[in-house]
């Protein structure tokens, strides 16, 4: 089974699920999922999880994302981007100094109201479905973090910004809110994702190049293996016997582990990822409690027999996909 991350440079005009569907068909891989939706008009980095890498989605989705965005001042739309209907215009545009000052107010933790045309649920129904039915429903604000916001270029009425943000941030809403702060309104006209955590757009393959391949093995040199998918997570190395225990959903005593309660670690054997585990305390010593286990580590030998517990079946004991 082929497992790992495949970095795709998504073209404009198709959905993220279209990319998943086309890669699944081209490479003949059954399990494929994307790590963070890009709107159809957006381009850039779309990491795809293949095979057992889909079990890592819950951890990878927490990674911050970096975008280059172009917003147009003086006009608002109902979708907050160029695909929507014009709802407001203004001829009075701010000075560059005002733009720089306003941008500074959006750095750090902020409250953001998800756009009405979004996949956020309201009483079991997606907001965009309610909006298309003419229902004016506003989701409650939620906390997001803007780690970095730089104004890269001003060519009035266009402003280019570089944004690094937390999971759940809507960049088109950021553009909309920045326009409201400036008093002239704004909407997003271009969006490119540059990075997801440690992964960069420069490493990605164009979708059409992937579709030229005959099968997944032909892309092995481009696949990021499971062991390298969480480079920011501490690694713990175990032997095969210990790996088998984790794969059966059992905790593994690990005295002397310099980690805090609840911290996640990568558990490796012979360079292969065995599990993502959480550090727990049992009695007076720390143990590794498996959250996700990966049987690819045992591909060249017999799998553990009679796995017990939810972790052995690819289901987390804490959290979930």
Distance CA 230, CA 221 (A): 18
Phi, then psi, of 134 in degrees rounded to 5: 85, 10
Catalytic site includes residue 39 = yes
Task: Dig out the tokens for 285 from the structure.
Answer: 């010593």
Let me know: does 264 contact 277? Beta carbons within 8 Å.
yes
Distance CA 290, CA 306 (A): 16
Give Dmax (Cα) for the chain.
71
Phi, then psi, of 256 in degrees rounded to 5: 80, 5
Residues belonging to the chain: 321
Single out the catalytic residue among 9, 18, 39, 153: 39
- DSSP letters for 259-294: --TT-EEEEEETTEEEEEEEEEEETTEEEEEEEEE-
Question: Which residues are registered as beta bridge partners of 270?
Answer: none
Helix extents (H) in 167-230: 171-182, 207-212
Question: Which residues are registered as beta bridge partners of 142?
Answer: 112
- DSSP letters for 33-48: EESS---TT-EEEEEE
Distance CA 247, CA 314 (A): 10
Known catalytic residues are 39
């Amino acid at each position: 089974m082929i497992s790992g991350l495949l970095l795709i440079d998504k073209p404009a005009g198709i959905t993220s699920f279209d990319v998943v569907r086309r890669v699944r068909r081209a490479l003949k891989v059954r399990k494929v999922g994307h790590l963070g939706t890009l709107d159809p008009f957006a381009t850039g980095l779309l990491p795809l999880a293949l095979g057992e890498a889909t079990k890592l989605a819950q951890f990878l989705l927490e990674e911050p994302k970096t975008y280059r965005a172009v917003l147009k001042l003086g006009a608002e739309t109902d979708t907050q981007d160029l695909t929507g209907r014009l709802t407001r215009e203004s001829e009075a545009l701010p000075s560059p100094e005002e733009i720089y000052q306003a941008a500074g107010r959006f750095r750090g933790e902020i409250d953001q109201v998800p756009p009405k045309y979004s996949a956020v649920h309201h009483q079991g129904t997606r907001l965009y479905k309610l909006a298309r039915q003419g229902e004016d429903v506003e989701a409650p604000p939620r906390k997001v973090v803007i780690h970095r916001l730089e104004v890269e270029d001003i060519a009035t009425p266009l402003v280019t910004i570089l944004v690094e943000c937390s999971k759940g941030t809507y960049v088109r809403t950021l553009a909309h809110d920045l326009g409201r702060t400036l008093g002239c309104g704004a909407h997003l006209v271009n969006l490119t994702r540059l990075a997801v955590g440690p992964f960069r757009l420069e490493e990605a393959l164009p979708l059409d190049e992937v579709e030229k391949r005959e099968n997944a093995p032909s892309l092995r040199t481009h696949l990021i293996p499971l062991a390298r998918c969480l480079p920011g997570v501490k690694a713990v190395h175990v032997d095969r016997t210990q790996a088998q225990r984790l794969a059966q959903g059992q905790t593994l005593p690990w005295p002397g582990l310099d980690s805090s309660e609840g911290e996640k670690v990568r558990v490796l054997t012979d360079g292969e990822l065995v599990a993502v585990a959480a550090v727990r305390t049992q009695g007076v010593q720390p143990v590794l409690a498996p959250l996700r286990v990966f049987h690819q580590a045992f591909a060249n030998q017999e799998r553990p027999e009679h796995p017990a517990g939810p972790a052995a079946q690819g289901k987390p004991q804490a959290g979930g996909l």
